[in-house]
């Protein structure tokens, strides 16, 4: 398929997405200030919540962090009773990271606050506009994954 988008449109889209990403990150940091958790720990907990128990290697791949950095991250989360290391039942050599109740509670509270923020941001959007935005963002995300896999 031929790309008919102008250079100006692409530049404007990149700038807008960068500003949106920055605003979301800034609000996310503000929310996390009320919790005993860092942004990298929050991201790790989100992956574990979405994917289930993961090994350190799997989690470091998802986070885009070095294995040693992820090990340190998990050590700190384990100290704060957010996660625990558990041996895989099928292969005792494999250790998986499991989210504990405190970790689940923090993730749920933070995500609810993020959703409340988005609800406030979208209060002047019609239901149709919100649905169209979701549809287009899903399409964008799908295309990004496709291009990244090349």
**Where exactly are the structural domains of the chain?**
7-148
Residue 87 CA from chain centroid, whole number: 25
Q: What is the pLDDT of residue 92?
A: 87
In terms of Cβ atoms closer than 10 Å to its own Cβ (0-12, 13-18, 19+), residue 43 is middle
Distances 63 to 15, 23, 47, 48, 128 between C-alpha atoms, Å: 24, 21, 8, 11, 34
- CB 82 within 8 Å of CB 143: no
Q: Please, what is the angle between helix 67-79 and helix 39-51, to 10°?
A: 90
Q: What is the pLDDT of residue 118?
A: 94
Q: What is the pLDDT of residue 100?
A: 97
Q: What is the pLDDT of residue 91?
A: 87
Task: Please give the class, per CATH, of domain 7-148.
Answer: mainly alpha
- CB 97 within 8 Å of CB 54: yes
Q: What pTM was estimated for this model as a whole?
A: 0.80
Largest Cα–Cα distance in the chain?
Answer: 55
Residues of the chain with pLDDT under 70: 1-2
Structure tokens at 37: 């958790």
Torsion on CA atoms 58, 64, 66, 69, rounded to nearest 10: -90
Q: What is the pLDDT of residue 2?
A: 56
């Amino acid at each position: 398929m031929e790309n008919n988008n102008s250079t100006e449109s692409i530049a404007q889209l990149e700038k807008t997405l960068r500003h949106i990403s920055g605003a979301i990150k800034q609000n996310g940091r503000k929310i996390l200030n009320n919790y005993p958790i860092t942004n990298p720990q929050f991201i790790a907990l989100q992956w574990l919540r979405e994917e289930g128990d993961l090994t350190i290697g799997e989690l470091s791949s998802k986070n885009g962090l070095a294995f040693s950095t992820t090990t340190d991250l998990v050590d700190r989360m384990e100290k704060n009773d957010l996660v625990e290391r558990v041996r895989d039942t099928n292969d005792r050599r494999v250790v998986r990271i499991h989210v504990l109740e405190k970790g689940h509670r923090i993730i749920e509270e933070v995500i609810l606050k993020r959703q409340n923020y988005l609800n406030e941001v979208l209060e002047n959007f019609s239901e149709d506009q919100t649905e169209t935005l979701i549809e287009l963002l899903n399409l964008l995300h799908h295309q990004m994954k496709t291009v990244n896999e090349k």
